[in-house]
Amino acid sequence: MNIVNPTQPDTPDKGRLQINITSDITASPVAGATVSISYTGVPDSQLEQLTTDSSGQTETIELAAPPLDYSLNPEIEEQPYSEYTLQIEAPGYEPVSIAGAEILPTVTAVQNLTLKPMDSPQPSERIFVIPAHTLYGTYPPKIPEDEIKPVTETGEIVLSRVVVPEFIVVHDGSPRDTTASNYYVRYKDYIKNVASSEIYATWPTNTIRANILAIMSFTLNRVYTEWYRNQGYDFTITSSTAFDHKWIPERNIFDTISGIVDELFADYLSRPNVRQPILTQYCDGRQVQCPNWMTQWGSKALGDQGYSAIEILRYYYGDDMYINTAEAISGIPSSWPGYTLEIGSSGNKVRQMQEQLNVIAGSYPALPKINADGIYGPATAASVEKFQSIFGLPQTGTVDYRTWYKISEVYVGVSRIAELQ
């Protein structure tokens, strides 16, 4: 048997892809959708055709990707991800084409997509072309700003406490570009999209953590100070790298990034005696250099050396930077109890969680309904484990912080739509 050296460009590594499809009208999964996968730029090269199950999901498949080292070494200039085109069709829905879905080696690319119901017999295909990753393509560097914003004349800032919003409004262009669309995006989905667009999901876990904390703190500063609304705009943040972060409609995210956002989404960065989240700015550290800001490639090198997330952040932003947690999270029925729910747990929090799972099961038939009796028994554990498998969480059968808020998020999505109908 030939042992092939995996660093040769003609013997690529493997990445993974999984697709989740829901209806934008009901927030329910779309079963029986077909997904055709081809190389971007070679439309007739169909490699795979997948079909979604009752949870709106495809199986996870392996796809060829460039060598891992391409995304780990700043000296290598070759493109570190491969690009695929996904064509999605489902009976009764408008077809969608996504060109440029990014596959990195060793990690799972997750393509979440909502389909619009067909409003004419000959619907036009919605086409999304995903631009280059910011570490690979050329984008305008961040225009420097003060990291702490002045409060208004009265000394009051609009919000007196830091709250994680349920949605933010993203202006897909620079602030003054009136032709750009505004998108309502779930806060967590926004952070996952930005991090997947701006750092490589193959990087060390603590590097990913540090960068996600910087992205979230910056974003929450925009929310807290109502930065754009105070200038007369009707959005929270832009997708321009000169002003804010890169955000790309319908791009795929990565499992390593998604899991960390689910774990940290209520956190931000603080300095002593400053109420607002710090506007933590950064640059890539290869194409653009920046004194006193974090560099993304530099943070990767520190992660390789074993630095923790806060150590990476303090290396760049100074020793008085610390991690804080928002006082409230918008759009959730009730907050996490502060401890993991598991077999033997009982009480109101268990009952709430059981009731929410039962509502979700109305839309996700693979999820077994359970008796909402406030007692965490084997049937509840089995339902939780199935929920975790559908929504890409570690399948523990116990409800930790990440699982609690994912149940809340899905419950709010399916029940809100049910109320509207």
- Tell me what pLDDT residue 154 has: 53
Long-range contacts of 389-392 (CB under 8 A, 24+ apart): 390/55, 390/57, 390/364, 390/366, 392/18, 392/110, 392/255, 392/258, 392/259
**139-153, 185-199, 209-223, 324-338: least confident range:** 139-153
CB neighbours of 53 closer than 8 A, spacing ≥ 6?
Answer: 31, 366
User: 378-385: which pairs have CB atoms within 8 A and are 24 or more residues apart?
Assistant: 378/343, 380/343, 380/350, 380/354, 381/342, 381/343, 383/354, 383/357, 384/357
Is residue 5 over pLDDT 50?
no
Rounded mean pLDDT, 392-404: 97
Whether residue 10 is predicted with pLDDT greater than 70 in this model: the reply is no
pLDDT in tens, 211-259: 999 999 999 999 999 999 999 999 999 999 999 999 999 999 999 999 9
- Residue 262 reports pLDDT greater than 80: yes
Distance, CA of 108 to CA of 18 (rounded, Å): 7
pLDDT confidence of residue 44: 82
SS3 annotation, the chain: CCCCCCCCCCCCEEEEEEEEEEECCCCCECCCCEEEEEECCCCCCCCEEEECCCCCECCCEEEEECCCHHHHCCCCCCCCCEEEEEEEECCCECCEEEEEEEECCCCEEEEEEEECECCCCCCCCEEEECCCCCCCCCCCCCCCCCCCCCCCCCCCCCCCCCEECCEEEEECCCCCCCCCCEEEEEHHHHHHHHHHHHCCCCCCHHHHHHHHHHHHHHHHHHHHHCCCHHHCCCCCEECCCCCCCCCCCCCCEEHHHHHHHHHHCCEEEECCCCCCCCCCCEECCCCCCCCCCEEHHHHHHHHHCCCCHHHHHHHHHCCCCEEEECCEECCCCCCCCCCCECCCCECHHHHHHHHHHHHHHHHCCCCCCCCCCCECCHHHHHHHHHHHHHCCCCCCCCECHHHHHHHHHHHHHHHHHHHHC
Domain 13-129 fold is Immunoglobulin-like (2.60.40)
For 29-44, the pLDDT digits (tens) are 999 999 999 999 987 8
- The band of 82, judged by pLDDT with boundaries at 50, 70 and 90, is very high
pLDDT of residue 418: 64
Output the six-digit token pair for 251. 């791009």
pTM summary value: 0.95
Separation of alpha carbons 229 and 145, rounded Å: 17
pLDDT of 419 above 80:
no
Bridge partners (DSSP) listed for residue 35: 50, 88
Please give the average per-residue pLDDT across 265-286, as a whole number.
97
Rg, the chain, Cα only: 22
Rounded-to-integer distance, Cα 171 and Cα 121, Å: 32
Angle between the N-to-C axes of helices 296-304 and 309-317, in degrees from 0 to 180, rounded to the nearest 10: 130
The predicted structure's pLDDT at residue 1: 34
Return d(Cα 248, Cα 380) in angstroms, integer. 38
Q: How far is the C-alpha of 267 from the C-alpha of 261, rounded, in Å?
A: 10
Domain boundaries for CATH 2.60.40.10 within the chain: 13-129
Q: Please, what is the average pLDDT of the chain?
A: 94
Cβ(141)–Cβ(305) under 8 Å? no
Residues 292-346: pLDDT tens digits? 999 999 999 999 999 999 999 999 999 999 999 999 999 999 999 999 999 999 9
Percent over 70 (pLDDT), the chain: 94
Tokens of 308: 């923790």
CA nearest 405: which of 363, 356, 367, 365? 356
